[in-house]
Structure 1
Amino acid sequence: MRKELTFTELEAEHVELLPARETLWFGNNNWAAVYASNSSVALNAASFNAIAHSAALQSINVHQH
């Protein structure tokens, strides 16, 4: 179950930036490979009182080096 936030709770949240990540590969160059995929399928039998079924999938993969 999702709890709704009040404005007071939302204003009490704090955000800070993370420091840059240092790597040994090609100096201090950071890079990430992002692969995203979306797909969906729908089926509706063409008959009286037919029920439509559908499914949707989404995936996102991130590989940071």
Structure 2
Amino acid sequence: MTKLTITEIAAESVELLPARETLFWDVNTALIAAQNASYAVNAATVLSVAHSTAVQGITVTQF
């Protein structure tokens, strides 16, 4: 990561967004899908250990 100099900061500018009434689509939605799966089977055994690894996936789509 590089540090900004005073000259670079002074060169920054801002721009106002249009009024809310002028925006064509006034909708902000996000679709979120999350899945988490983990399975461990330890059937018909005595003094044994079952290990499980979880797999997780999250998808976010914003409009």
TM-score with structure 1 length normalisation? 0.47
Structure having the higher Rg: 2
- Greater relative CO (CA pairs within 8 A, separation 6+): 2
TM-score w.r.t. structure 2 length? 0.49
Greater strand proportion: 1
